[in-house]
A and B are shown apart, each in its own frame.
Chain A
Amino acid sequence: MTRPDLSKATAPVPADGRPVLEVDDLHVEFRTRSGVVHAVNGVSYSLTQGETLAILGESGSGKSVSAQAIMGILDSPPAVITGGGIWFEGTDLLTQPEEEQRKVRGPGISMIFQDALSSLNPVYSVGFQIGEMFRAHRGMSKKDARKRAIELMDRVRIPAAARRVDDFPHQFSGGMRQRVMIAMAIALDPRILIADEPTTALDVTVQAQVMDLLKDLQAETGMGLILITHDLGVVNEVADNVAVMYAGEIVERGTVDDVFTRPAHPYTDGLMSSVPQVEAKGGRLQPIVGQPPNLARIPSGCPFHPRCSRRRLGAEAAPGRECSTDVPPLRLVVPGREAACHYSEEVLGVRAQ
């Protein structure tokens, strides 16, 4: 988008390349009547200004829960953050009082959700809800807030914003609703935007428009973007780096190009081979066999081992690398690439050091 950011100067970019957000060994569990569900088990990642990090994983892999932990919107009980830290611009949010955390949300970190219709309050016009950001955080008057809401709706390319500002959420199409959500989320120029499956509920053409919009907004403001999705195509298009999650852990991390072309973890490998290819017309897809693990009973050792085609059990395993008993740590496999597999080198096809 060639139009400059009209609302205000973009957030200052830190001179050093230090991460804006660092998630450090985050643990989240849900204490339910039927047992403890370990949703997030030691997830770490960081995000710098202007970076797009995709968090990829199937349903129940803990990708949304870790984002909700960052935003402080976990329902607790039953959810409990049992360990780790969430560092935003040098302070650990988890040790801050609730009031301080609240001040970060909105201006610091913001979030958009999968279902825009249910994420908008049905009884208020969209303009009022966007304006609410300015009234709540900046103490703006109703008149100014309305003006800014129209500007923002323009900025997220909602046609005829001035006429539609008083319409209600149910009067918008799915794509337009998601734009309204995005307008609310970027209203205060957050340093980081978390997009939790922003395009899952939309059809393919609208998906592309919304992703383009997010990319353009990111280019304008330099915000960091965490994209939570299970859509490999979207990740490939917009993300710089990708973290693949399985059973509440990150199993592989690297740049999108690297990870997608040469996976270092059998799970990522399986994901890639389950994508339909135009060239392979007529052939059979190779799905990952089995079911995602029950997070209340995560398999011992490598959580992926019951479904893994490359697992080595008993005598055929190297010492200390038995897949069903030894937990593989997330380790550097080749420069710029980390994977949590005992046999990543084999998956990757390189010789172990």
Chain B
Amino acid sequence: MTDQQQADLLHDEVEAGTTTGLASPSVDVTKERQNSLWSDAWGHLKRNPLFWIGAVLGLVFLLMAIVPQVFARGADPRACNLSNSQQKPSAEHWFGFDQQGCDYLANVVYGARNSLIIGLLAVLVILVLGLLVGAVTGFYGGLLDSLLSRLTDIFYAVPFILGAIVVLRSGFLGRGVAAVAVALAIFGWMTAMRLVRSQVIAVKSSDYVAAARAMGASNGRILIRHILPNAVAPVLVYTTITIGVLIAAEATLTYLGVGLQRPAISWGLQISAGQSLLRTSPHLVLFPSIILTLTVMAFIMMGDALRDALDPRQRA
């Protein structure tokens, strides 16, 4: 029997009143495709203003990092004139000048690149380390799990910033952008690892994985369909928020004098230099701080929105 014939038969039966099912037949395909987790999440994300605010801000800072010339209004951050030292913001120079007489808007704009590179690079290392170690320990368990989990505990025992300070001061990695990113990542991956590990363990032993296996799903399918989506979502959220935290941590390290060094341009360096002049030229601290705060906020807002979107149970 063809599908059409079957549908007709069903229709006739309903007309004749001979079907007794509780539900009326309702086979009408209203949508073309089935929704997957990601398309559902995207549909939800689209309607979240928090996400859009974060995304637009993030995009602005990303563009700022890629093409700072456009945002600097033609000023060169390294073309300084001491006669302009500490001038207040004006219509011509929105952010004023720093102590060396350099255009401050250009300096703040050019600082975005280092901050974003460090934030993204460090988060990438955290994501890779966290997923890898977390998945291995969660999936295989046993001795390997015990060993790696204790190793994680050791890293946990060292405070994040303190660890990074020690690594950077030791001079093994130098003091460049990559060095700061790696130093931050080394002491920041443990939470991601624990998240992945606990999710993998929870999902691995869940009834729906047993049910999927009972219905003939292969290991690969279970990993892709069940373990990964359930394990990745919280980690993705965590890492998005962490980008913001890492950018702030970079500024902290630089401010403390162990992160980037002049002549590198970074928000941490600017805040650090500006603090001694806070009384006379508060704008030197104010502008990089505002931009830094906005950047951190952008990522945290996106992370928040992502968390809401990836958890169907949270949706109204």
Q: Which A residues lie at the B interface, using CB under 8 A?
A: 1-4, 6, 71-73, 75, 102-107, 110-111, 113, 115, 118-125, 127-128, 131-133, 136-137, 142-143, 145-147, 149-151, 153-154, 157-163, 166, 168, 170, 181, 184-185
Contact = CB atoms under 8 A, between A and B. Distances in A.
A316 to B, nearest CB: 48
A71 B29 contact: no
B217 interface: yes
A162 B27 contact: yes
Given A107-B216, A146-B34, A184-B211, 12 more contacts: A3-B10, A3-B19, A72-B213, A72-B214, A105-B215, A128-B34, A128-B35, A136-B217, A147-B27, A147-B29, A161-B23, A181-B211
Interface in B32-54: 32-37, 40
Given A1-B20, A6-B10, A113-B207, A123 B312 contact: yes
A70 to B, nearest CB: 9
A105 B313 CA distance: 30
A111 B207 CA distance: 12
B210 A73 contact: yes
B146 to A, nearest CB: 15
A282 B92 CA distance: 97
Contact of A142 (B25, B27, B34): B34
Contact of B213 (A73, A120, A153): A73
B216 A2 contact: no
B129 interface: no
Given A122-B313, A136-B221, A158-B23, A143 B214 contact: no
Contact of B35 (A160, A166, A184): A166
Interface string B148-181: 0000000000000000000000000000000000
Name which of A4, A123, A158 has the most chain B CB atoms within 10 A of its CB: A123
A153 B10 CA distance: 15
B20 to A, nearest CB: 6
Contacts of B25: 154
Contact of B211 (A111, A137, A166): A111
B312 A157 contact: no
Contacts of A160: 23-24, 26
B230 A121 contact: yes
Contact of A137 (B34, B36, B216, B233): B216
A170 B313 contact: yes
A43 to B, nearest CB: 19
Interface residues of B, number: 48
Contacts of B214: 71-73, 105, 110-111, 113
B90 interface: no
B13 to A, nearest CB: 6
Interface string B278-292: 000000000000000
Contacts of B21: 1, 3, 154, 157
Contact of A136 (B6, B205, B216): B216
A31 B30 CA distance: 52
Interface string B4-15: 001001100100
A177 to B, nearest CB: 12
B48 to A, nearest CB: 18
Contacts of A166: 31, 35
Contact of A111 (B13, B23, B27, B215): B215
B27 A106 contact: no
B33 A123 contact: no
A159 B26 CA distance: 9
A266 B30 CA distance: 59
Nearest to B19: A3
A159 B25 CA distance: 8
Contacts of B225: 121, 124, 132
9 contacts: A71-B214, A72-B213, A73-B214, A111-B211, A125-B34, A147-B29, A150-B28, A159-B22, A170-B312
Contacts of A185: 215
B260 to A, nearest CB: 41
A154 B23 contact: yes
A112 B248 CA distance: 51
Nearest to B18: A2
Interface string B228-263: 011001000000000000000000000000000000
Contacts of B9: 4, 6
A154 B229 CA distance: 28
B29 A146 contact: yes
Contacts of B312: 122-123, 168, 170
A150 B10 contact: no
A147 B34 CA distance: 9
A310 B210 CA distance: 41
Contacts of B212: 121
Q: Which 4 A-B pairs have the closest CB atoms?
A: A106-B216, A105-B216, A162-B26, A118-B207
Nearest to A213: B22
Given A2-B18, A105-B213, A157-B22, A119 B207 contact: yes
Contacts of A1: 20-21
A215 B28 CA distance: 27
Nearest to A160: B26
Contacts of B6: 6
B229 A123 contact: yes
